[in-house]
Structure 1
Amino acid sequence: MPTVPATTSAALRARIEAALRDFLAAQRGRLTTIDPQLDDICAAVEAFVLGGGKRLRPTFAYWGYRGAGGADDGAAVTAFASLELLQACALMHDDVMDSSDTRRGEPAVHRRFATLHAERGWSGAAEGFGTAAAILLGDLCLGWSAEMYDGSGVPAPRLAAGREAYHLMRTEVMAGQYLDVLAQADVAHSSRDRAERVARYKSAKYTVERPLLLGGRLAGAGSATLAAYSAYGLPLGAAFQLRDDVLGVFGDPARTGKPAGDDLREGKRTYLVAAAYEATTPAGRAVLDARLGAADLDADGVAQLRALIVETGALADTERRIDQLTAAALGSLADAPIAPYPAGVLADLATAATARTR
């Protein structure tokens, strides 16, 4: 299969970001006519959405569209770019739920607004104001994602064909997020199977499968092509989340934009952690119970938990699972009814999504 040129990837990313920039500029014009102070909201959303991110969801949607025979189309790119606003909603709310301080190396939205509150000497609790602002901004981005999709310029019948995938994507990611929160509370039922279910709905479907199906449906894909997209997207999305879990424990903060061991402080019941629980001794389980989820977990505590995860074989087990899932995704492309060049791009994306360091 052909390798996608870096210039092609960069060009698509630039088009996605241009569509987002234009949309957000229009929203700024609308909101600041309501009240000039709403410019703070506009600046925060623009900084968050345009300041980083992998653009995976619109990228998968675009190549799903092209793989099903869709012609290159600026309106379709705009429709797919709307997925970044859905992602912004999920991340803003996720950072509130996890009490995260940073995102992509910058203050999380709730921290940004708490700081704004303190700097301007407003009354009340700065943290409460920051949390309220982040929740509202996340809600705003969720609404804007649908507005951008519907106003993309794609003909109405094609938009309607993709809307089921769009709706399911939003439902499934919220369900996955709740299951993730539940797993941190209902620790007695922690297991690798449960962690994979969380990954399936929090990430696999949302990051890869549903965007591919959305793109395919906008191009009028047949059932065989849509089935191939699911066969590729589900295992790849799960592998992507497992790589995210590994980086959440072992990643370099300079690359990930998150503090070292942040997932350990948050008590994330990932596949990696579940594998460690299943493989460790009673003494090791006691260490996990005592330190996992401790907000004051220091560097020594992170190092101890990392060592335990390695010693139990949980890290090696997770890496094997990533390899298995990635191989399944790539294998599904072999005889898939997908246009050759887009199929090659999807193969390259599978490697990039699972071998990344951030």
Structure 2
Amino acid sequence: MTNLLKTRSEHARLRLEVTQELEDIFARSRRTAEAYGPEFLGLWDLAADHAQGGKLIRPLLMLEMFEALGSNEPSASNRSEAVRIAAAIEVLHFAFLLHDDVIDGDLVRRGRPNLIGELATSSFDETHSDAAQHWAKSGAILAGDLLLSATHQLFARANVSGSLKERLLDLLEHTIFETTAGEFVDVGLSDGVIRSDLSTVLQMTGRKTACYSFELPLRAAVILSGGSQELERRLSTAGAHLGLAYQLQDDLLSTFGDAAAHGKDAYSDLREGKQTAIISFARMSNSWPSIEPDFADPQLSFERAEHLRDLLRECGAEDFVLGLIQEQLGAFYESLAVVNETASIPTRVRDVLLDLAARFEGRKS
């Protein structure tokens, strides 16, 4: 019980540090926005509000790993830079969410109207509803663009040596390329422009989510702690497997989970025609002719969506994806077990990763 309480206390401390840094980042942006009129200032007030309240998985992982890689008492300057980069990773995450909501046409995030939904409602009237939606989506795109720029600025201003800064900036560029490429393929799959098969879907999933959600924070922690490139590579491999398992689980929750728990629009993936591993398996089953007519129907009712969910479960898609998750977790554990004299994984680092994997058990959101 003592260790559990200590872990909760440490998470609360790290969360507070990241939250305060995020508040500072958005406060600076807000001061800049004041010169551009009340509408633009209102956009940043909404952005600051919606950027807060998340689980902070990525920045917390980075800080936990940074502390595990460093000494028990890292210098104040190094600690400050780590917190700043951790917050920058959350800013990057929010920028991707803004763009993703525009692409998917989503109006709900974390169980409430997202930035687009709230901005559109604030300017809505019956005669200009289409204009309000267009304005709100445009605001999300533009805010996302500025947040991408802010992320780069935070990385570029990190007070670290030239070689480490170059590694950080190369990592950021790689991450944005990988995530953008994954999103591009995701849209192509959903629109039927790219042929859907399991290998393509899994590759897209890894690029779109695993790279920036797990590989980025792990690799950034290694760089900031002055770790070797070989250790960075090993943690990148572990993060790729863990990230893919996480996203596969997220897809399961979106289709088979409780919408009240995960906070997304219930069955939005089915309405939008998301080409997940669930659908890849269903396409190969005898049940697909019964599933296909309702899949990707934007007017899909809640009752028909529930029936579609039941068909996907009965055809074995849920169990199949659960098996894929176990495969990725198995590969993750194997990557930690590999003995490499040139870059052995420290015990504290392994403990952070094992604890993260354990949190998957019983995940509801």
Structure 1 length-normalised TM: 0.91
Partner of 1:315: 318
Query: Secondary structure of 2:336's match?
Result: coil
Change (3 A) 1:100 1:122: closer
Residue of structure 1 equivalent to 2:26? 24
1:210 — aligned with what?
A: 216
Higher relative contact order, chain-length normalized (CA < 8 Å, sep 6+): 1
How much has 1:151 moved relative to structure 2? 3.5
Tell me whether 237-246 or 317-326 shows the greater mean CA deviation. 317-326
The C-alpha deviation readout for 1:17-63, integer Å capped at 9, x for no partner, is: 1111111111111211332432201211111111x222222223334
CA contact (8 A) 2:210 2:239 kept: yes
State the distance in 1 between where 2:152 and 2:303 align: 45
* Contact map agreement 2:185 2:194 (CA 8 A) in 1: no
Aligned with 2:331 (options 318, 328, 350): 328
Match for residue 347 of structure 2 among 340, 348, 355: 340
Please give the root-mean-square deviation of Cα atoms over the aligned residues, in Å.
Answer: 2.3
Residues 62, 215 of structure 1: 8 Å contact kept: yes
Alpha-carbon distance between aligned partners in 2 of 1:96 and 1:108, rounded to the nearest angstrom? 10
Check 1:122–1:310 CA distance in 2 against 1; reply closer, same or farther (3 A cut). closer
Show the 5 A alignment for 1:229-240.
229-240=235-246
Alignment match of 2:89 (pick from 49, 71, 83)? 83
Following the alignment from structure 2 to structure 1, what is the Cα–Cα distance between the partners of residues 33 and 151?
A: 16
Letter in 2 for 1:344: D
Determine the C-alpha separation between the residues in 2 that align with 1:123 and 1:285: 37
Check the 8 A contact 1:23/1:148 in 2, yes or no: no
Q: Can you list the C-alpha shifts for 1:244-270, whole angstroms capped at 9, x where unaligned?
A: 100111121211111221111111000
Q: TM-score, normalised to structure 2's length?
A: 0.90
Gaps of 5+ in 1: none
Q: Distance in 2 between matches of 1:222 and 1:77?
A: 21
What one-letter code is carried by the residue in structure 2 that aligns with 1:235? H
Counterpart of 1:40 (choices 39, 42, 46) is: 42
Change (3 A) 1:124 1:324: closer
SS at match of 1:243: helix
Count of matched residue pairs? 353
Structure 1 residues 321, 355: closer, same or farther in 2, change over 3 A? farther
Letter in 2 for 1:100: D
Partner of 1:349: 356
CA distance in 2, matches of 1:261, 1:125: 27
Between stretches 325-334 and 131-140, larger displacement belongs to: 325-334
User: Could you tell me whether the CA contact under 8 Å between 1:173 and 1:206 is conserved in 2?
Assistant: yes
Matched, 1:293 2:296: yes
Cα deviation digits, residues 120-147 of structure 1 (max 9, x gap): 9989711111111111111121111112
